[in-house]
């Protein structure tokens, strides 16, 4: 599927997008290397319609137990949602949206440790670098 990058405005093959791992997620455009995400045009409509289909199916089957109704609704909702997303993407294809970078203060702890923990460790003197310890107190 061909998608248009919102940053560089070039057409990109969806298989050429490289995934960004981490909490922010998204994909890197292979041309401009900017972070983008895939936006499904009818995602809210699909979520609501698939939930109504799941609940309606369980009402027709006459599931009266509340816990079973909720669990079965979720189990039915997921595949129906995937099917409706596939159908809706044929009607109106997904688009790419630019991902706005987060504040540098909103990094996760694992990202902070990856950024240069080793450079701090090299600059901290160890006890062995100080030489022998001399007691300066006089008795």
Please check whether residue 89 lies inside any domain of the structure. yes
Q: 128 lies in a domain? A: no
Range of the domain at 70: 2-101
At 122 the pLDDT is 46
131 lies in some domain:
no
Total count of domains within the chain? 1
Query: Which residues of the chain are modeled with pLDDT < 50?
Result: 118-124, 126, 129, 139
pLDDT at 139: 47
Is residue 75 assigned to a domain?
A: yes
Half-sphere exposure of 135 (CA within 13 A, CB side): 3
> Do the domain assignments include residue 126?
no
pLDDT of residue 132: 53
Contacts of 84 (CB under 8 A, 6+ apart): 46, 49, 50
The answer to the question of residue 9 being in a domain is yes
CA distance 3 to 94: 8
Q: What percent of the chain has pLDDT over 90?
A: 27
Q: Residue 39, SS3?
A: strand
Considering the domain boundaries, does residue 33 fall inside one? yes
Predicted TM-score (pTM) of this structure: 0.55
CA dist., res. 131 & res. 71, Å (int): 66
Helix (H) or strand (E) holding 38: strand 35-39
Residue in this structure with the two tokens 């902070």, named with its chain if needed: 112
pLDDT at 32: 85
Is residue 80 situated within a structural domain? yes
């Amino acid at each position: 599927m061909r998608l248009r990058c919102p940053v560089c405005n070039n057409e990109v093959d969806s298989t050429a997008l490289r995934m960004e791992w981490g909490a922010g997620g998204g994909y890197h455009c292979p041309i401009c290397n900017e972070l983008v995400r895939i936006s499904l045009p009818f995602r809210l409509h699909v979520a609501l319609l698939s939930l109504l289909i799941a609940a309606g199916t369980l009402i027709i089957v006459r599931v009266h137990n509340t816990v079973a109704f909720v669990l079965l609704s979720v189990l039915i909702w997921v595949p129906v949602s995937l099917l409706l997303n596939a159908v809706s993407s044929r009607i109106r294809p997904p688009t790419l949206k630019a991902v706005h970078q987060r504040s540098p203060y909103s990094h996760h702890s694992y990202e902070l440790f990856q950024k240069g923990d080793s450079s701090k460790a090299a600059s901290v003197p160890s006890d062995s670098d100080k030489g022998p310890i001399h007691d300066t107190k006089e008795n």
